Structures are given as C-alpha cells and as structure tokens.
C-alpha cells in the first residue's frame, strides 16, 4: 500500500483531497491529510469584517466538514518535514512516512519582522486585517472612531491577495462616507510598489480610482520601522508618515515548518516548478497555493487553477507518465471598490490584466478592468462558491489556463 | 533595446538600460553604470554588495532580493538603502550588470 500525504488542509489542501480521494485506487493508495487547526477561515471574508459587513460567524466552518470521509485526517502541528527521508514528524512525536507528498501550508503575516510593530499599541491603534484577530479588533476600533488620519501600509511584497489592501481603502472611503464622517478622515495608501498595483495597465486604472476617491497614494515607500510613541511610520530612508490609525499588511511568509525543515527560501516559500508544480528539489514532492515561491498571485482562485493542473500531474506521476507543464500563472480577482460596485481582473504570468468581458467573450456577465455592480455581486457570491464548490473540488465553468478571448489589447 | 559601449566593450542593453546579458559584464563597467544611477564613487561597501549579487546570481540564476542580501549576504537593509538610495534592489542589480529584478505580484 502506498501513501499520499497532504500537508496543510486549508483552501488548497482541501481541494486536492477532494479531487484525489475519489480517483486514486484505494487498493493501492491511502491518503492522509495533516493540519494543525480545526477551524477553516474564509480569508477573503476578513476584508469585510472591519466594516461590519461580515462578522466572525460568517467566515468560519469546521475543517472536517470539508474533508472526504475516506481519508485519514490528523489534526496536530508538524514539527519537521524530512523530505530526504520521506517522512514527517509531528510535535507529539508521531512519525509519518510517505511515498508522495503535496504541500499546501499557505502563508501568514509576520508583523514581528518590522521593528516596533508589535509594541503596546498593536491591536490598539495599529491593526492587521489578514487574521481573524486583527480583523475583529479593527472592527471594534472603527465602530467608535470619530476620525483622523488612517494610513494603510504594505510593508513588503509579495503579499497574499495583493488587491486586498486596495479594496480595504476603497471600502474605507465608502464606509466613512456612509457614517457621515468622510470629511474627518484622511486616507493614505502607502506602498513599496512604484504605483497602486504591480502591472502597468491595472496600476494606472486603480491609481485613478484612488485619486477619484480622494485617497492619497504614496509609492516607492519601503517601511523600515514603526515609532509607536509618536504614531509614526518610517521608511528605511527615514521618510516619516504620521498616523492616528495604522492598518498594516505586514511581511508575508510561508509556514515556519518550511523554514525549520530547510525547504524554503528567505521567506519560507518553497522553490517550485512554475508550470508543473513539482518541488525543484524533490521529485515526489508537489506544492500549491500560497506556499510556493511562484511569481503568481497568492490567491484562492490561483490555488484553484493550480489544483486542476496538479490533479492531473499527480495521476501522471503515479502512472509513471511525464508531467504536464500546464500551469500558466492564471489569476482571477474581484476587487471590491465600494458603494456596491466592483472591478474584475484576469491575468497570468505573461499577460497583464486587460479590459474585456468574462467569462463569456463579448457577453460577460462580468466586466474586466471596469467598475460595475455585477462585479460586486461576483465578489459577494464568491463566499458561497468557495464553501460549496471550490473547497469541494468541483469543476467551475472557468478554464485553468487564462484565455485571450473576450480581452482587448490596449 | 540598444547597444552601447561600456569600458570599451560593446554590450546590449534593454529599454531601461539594464544589461541584456549578465555575462557581458566586467568589473570595469560598474563605475560607469553607477554614475548613471547617480552614484559617483563605488566604495568597498558597494563592492561587497555587487560581488555578493553576482555570485548569488551565478548560483541561483535569480537576482537576489533585499531580504536575500540580508539573510544570505549578511548585509543590513539599512546599509543597502544608504549605499543605493531609492530602490537598492534595482540600482544594485543595474550596476552589477544583472537584469531588472522581477516585481512580484
Ligand atoms: C484579507 C484576505 C483577503 C483575500 N481575498 C481573496 C479573494 O478575494 N480572492 C481570492 O481568490 N483569494 C483571496 N485571499 C487569499 C486566499 O485566502 C489564499 O490565497 C488561500 O486561502 C490560500 O490557500 P492555501 O491552501 O495555500 O493556504 P491556507 O488556506 O492558508 O491553508 C494553509 C493551511 O496549512 C496549515 N498549516 C500551516 N503550517 C502548518 C503546520 N506546521 N502543521 C500543520 N498544518 C499547518 C494551516 O493551518 C492552514 O490550514 C485573501 C486572503 C486574505 C488574507
């Protein structure tokens, strides 16, 4: 009997378990999934918590509800992965040996990487919204805030869901307008990138939205430290930005276990073949989701497209066939822009976000790189799609590979 | 893309001036490239960074990030910003004859 081990049972690990469990021959393969926590968080929902649109209950469900019944599930932290010996050691001393391993340990924020971030004022007037604790603490702050200067800062790239901080400031503009205190709130978006976003056409488009919404953009700012005493954020070059409320997107890193196991780069992301998703170092190790070092977005939609490719490659690997180099970096992200509207972008390693219609060329119903009400509904429906289709590994009516059909070169 | 003569050697450069082929680079070209980036003299500290970047690029096939220079090269981030103000990763890669570091997304 051979053993397939899935390490990490979040978005990507759950999808892989659901796709593979029905197709692997149960006389030959057994599947085990390991995760350290019982609760699954719908992370895209964290964005809506500070504004009271979602609460904690809206974004959590038990992980076990989503795992297939015919696999073994272990809920325990992993101490170390030893890929040279094909085994994993758990913190409680158990040792698990595998023939084939899929790693999906995700990425998480590491505010401690920035000097002064984790002082007394952490979660007092400095918040993240990438964790449930941060998002709910920020909700309690914003609920009673009477105004002042809000600074939203991306510390360094890459971050998961790179559009989320922009959505955050768009929603802030909407929320404070609704509360009737927009004139008492200054919003400043501070990023290490040269513009609002990474890719030129989308950066220009989104930059214009910031201007339109009276949100100040400060680009090329590499955050070096926080002076909590004086409510000031400093760049490495000592440029100072004052705040009353600092919302930080701290350094994102892969799971510590990847670092401890010597499997990652400086940020604990695992060197991965960008097209086959095989580890660059170990043939019987595959990686997907936020845990990879790929130059694609770290997003649930990307994990979904990767899962389609990996599903095929795992079967090919088992059958001794050459792997298919099919992943193209495809990402598809709804950007909530406030006032019940949204923007949609669709892109891959080579093609930056372009305007057009999606998924049906010329028809839509969604519009690419345009602000529409329909796109907002796409974003809000995503939660249902996520729990009911995506995690279960169901086919969605979108190809894993990006298509140019319906897109316009500009 | 255009060709240019640096330290007496003809090299190809991209639209932003980065060398097209890192193997064309010689140490003699660095001072000229540095001037284009507004750095008049290259000190030993600058050279430490440039040599680390060259070596790491040879080994990894990738232009090192600021974090990599800190962790693997032992060069404090603060120093990098003092030596190569306003975008050390790009400026140092430019002077070291490497391609533009990929922005991530
Ligand atoms: C605020 C926010 C907004 C977002 N918005 C969107 C959006 O609109 N659209 C979109 O597509 N994506 C969005 N995302 C991104 C999306 O949530 C992630 O890309 C996706 O969840 C990645 O899946 P993953 O399986 O790689 O990682 P995760 O889902 O994070 O799962 C990793 C799992 O590994 C487990 N693990 C880690 N280390 C260990 C260990 N040592 N031992 C055992 N288990 C371990 C963890 O417990 C976890 O369950 C957003 C994210 C955030 C934070």
Instruction: Give CATH for domain A111-252.
Output: 3.50.50.60
Please give the Cα distance from A13 to A293 (Å, whole number): 17
HEC-encoded secondary structure of A374-409: HHHHHHHHHHHHHHHHHCCCCCCCCCCCCCCCCECC
Task: Compute the distance from residue A298 Cα to the ligand 1 centre, in Å.
Answer: 9
Instruction: Say which of B67, B77, B105 has its CB closest to residue A236.
Output: B77
In this structure, the number of other CB atoms found within 10 A of the CB of residue A317 comes to 18
Q: Which residue has the higher pLDDT, A73 or A198?
A: A73
Atom of ligand 1 nearest to the CA of A298: 19
DSSP B24-65: G--GGGHHHHHHHTT-----HHHHHHHHHHHHHHHHHSSPPP
Is residue A265 within 8 A of residue B68, CB to CB? The reply is yes
Exposure class string for A24-44: b at 16+ Cβ within 10 A, else e: beeeebebbbbbbeeebbbbb
pLDDT band of residue A79 (cuts 50, 70, 90) is very high
pLDDT for res B88: 92
Confirm or reject contact between B105 and chain A (CB < 8 A): yes
Task: List CB contacts (< 8 A) between A198 and chain B.
Answer: 103-105
For residue A390, pLDDT over 60 is answered with yes
Report percent pLDDT > 90 for chain A: 97
Question: Which tens digit of pLDDT belongs to each residue from A286-328?
Answer: 999 999 999 999 999 999 999 999 999 999 999 999 999 999 9
Mean pLDDT (chain B, rounded): 92
Backbone angles phi, psi at A163, to 5 degrees: -90, -15
Residue A107 DSSP SS3:
strand
pLDDT for res A175: 98
pLDDT for res B103: 60
In chain A, domain spans: 2-106+255-318, 111-252, 331-390
For residue A129, pLDDT over 50 is answered with yes
Report percent pLDDT > 90 for chain B: 82
For residue B35, pLDDT over 50 is answered with yes
Mean pLDDT (chain A, rounded): 96
Task: Compute the distance from residue A293 Cα to the ligand 1 centre, in Å.
Answer: 15
User: How many Cα neighbours within 13 Å face the side chain of A302?
Assistant: 30
Please give the Cα distance from A197 to A327 (Å, whole number): 23
Instruction: Say which of A193, A236, A265 has its CB closest to residue B81.
Output: A236
pLDDT band of residue B2 (cuts 50, 70, 90) is confident
Class of domain A2-106+255-318: alpha beta
Residue A277 DSSP SS3:
coil
- pTM, two decimal places: 0.95
Task: List CB contacts (< 8 A) between B78 and chain A.
Answer: 224, 236
Read off the tokens for A182: 């927009």
Confirm or reject contact between A296 and chain B (CB < 8 A): yes
A267 vs chain B: nearest CA distance in angstroms?
A: 8
Question: Which tens digit of pLDDT belongs to each residue from A255-282?
Answer: 999 999 999 999 999 999 999 999 999 9
Instruction: Inspect the interface and report whether the beta carbons of A224 and B65 lie closer than 8 Å.
Output: no
Instruction: Inspect the interface and report whether the beta carbons of B103 and A296 lie closer than 8 Å.
Output: no
Confirm or reject contact between B103 and chain A (CB < 8 A): yes
Residue B12 DSSP SS3:
strand
The yes-or-no answer to whether A2-106+255-318 and A111-252 have a common fold is yes
Task: List CB contacts (< 8 A) between A296 and chain B.
Answer: 105
In this structure, the number of other CB atoms found within 10 A of the CB of residue B59 comes to 10
pLDDT for res B1: 62
Confirm or reject contact between A115 and chain B (CB < 8 A): no
Exposure class string for A104-128: b at 16+ Cβ within 10 A, else e: bbbbbbbbebbebbbeebbbebbbb
pLDDT for res B62: 87
Question: Which tens digit of pLDDT belongs to each residue from A204-259?
Answer: 999 999 999 999 999 999 999 999 999 999 999 999 999 999 999 999 999 999 99
Please give the Cα distance from A258 to A229 (Å, whole number): 35
pLDDT for res B105: 45
């Amino acid at each position: 009997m051979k053993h397939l081990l899935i390490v990490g049972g979040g978005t990507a690990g759950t999808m892989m378990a659901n796709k593979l469990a029905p197709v692997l021959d149960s006389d030959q393969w057994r599947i085990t999934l390991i995760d350290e926590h019982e609760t699954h968080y719908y992370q895209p929902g964290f964005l809506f918590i500070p504004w009271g649109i979602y609460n904690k209950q809206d974004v959590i469900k038990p992980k076990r509800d989503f795992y297939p019944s015919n696999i073994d599930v272990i809920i325990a932290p992993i101490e170390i992965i030893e890929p040279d010996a094909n085994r994993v050691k758990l913190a409680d001393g158990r040792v698990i040996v595998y023939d084939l391993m899929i790693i999906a340990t995700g990425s998480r924020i590491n505010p401690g990487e920035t000097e002064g971030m984790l002082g007394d004022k952490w979660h007092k007037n400095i918040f993240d919204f990438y964790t449930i604790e941060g998002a709910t603490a920020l909700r309690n702050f914003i609920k009673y805030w009477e105004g002042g200067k809000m600074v939203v800062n991306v510390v360094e790239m890459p971050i998961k869901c790179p559009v989320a901080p922009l959505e955050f400031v768009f929603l802030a503009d909407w929320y404070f307008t609704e509360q009737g205190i927009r004139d008492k709130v200054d919003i400043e978006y501070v990023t290490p990138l040269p513009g609002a976003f990474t890719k030129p056409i989308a950066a220009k488009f989104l930059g214009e939205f910031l201007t339109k919404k009276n949100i100040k953009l400060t680009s090329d700012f590499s955050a070096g430290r926080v002076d909590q005493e004086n409510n000031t954020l400093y760049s490495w070059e000592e440029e100072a930005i004052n705040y009353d409320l600092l919302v930080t997107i701290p350094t994102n890193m892969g799971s510590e276990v990847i670092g401890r196991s010597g499997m990652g780069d400086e940020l604990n992301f695992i060197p991965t073949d960008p097209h086959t998703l095989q580890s660059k170092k170990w043939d019987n190790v595959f990686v997907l989701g936020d845990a990879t070092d790929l130059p694609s977005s770290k997003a649930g939609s990307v994990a979904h497209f990767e899962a389609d490719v990996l599903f095929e490659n795992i079967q090919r690997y088992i059958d001794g066939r050459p792997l298919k180099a099919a992943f193209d970096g495809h990402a598809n992200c709804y950007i909530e822009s406030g006032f019940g509207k949204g923007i949609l972008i669709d892109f891959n390693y080579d093609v930056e976000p372009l305007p057009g219609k999606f998924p049906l060329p010329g028809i839509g119903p969604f519009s690419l790189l345009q602000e529409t009400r329909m796109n907002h509904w796409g974003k809000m429906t995503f939660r249902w799609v996520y729990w009911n289709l995506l995690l279960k590994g169901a086919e969605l009516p979108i190809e894993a590979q990006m298509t140019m059909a319906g897109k316009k070169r500009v | 893309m255009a060709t240019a003569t640096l330290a007496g050697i003809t090299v190809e450069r991209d639209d932003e001036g980065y060398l097209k082929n890192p193997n064309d680079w010689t140490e003699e070209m660095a001072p000229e490239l540095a001037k284009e980036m507004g750095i008049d003299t290259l000190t030993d500290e600058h050279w430490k960074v440039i040599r680390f970047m060259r070596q790491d690029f040879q080994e990894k096939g990738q232009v090192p990030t600021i974090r990599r220079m800190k962790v693997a090269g032992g060069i404090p981030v603060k120093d990098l910003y003092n030596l190569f103000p306003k975008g050390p990763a790009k400026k140092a890669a430019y002077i070291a004859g490497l391609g533009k570091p990929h922005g991530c997304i």
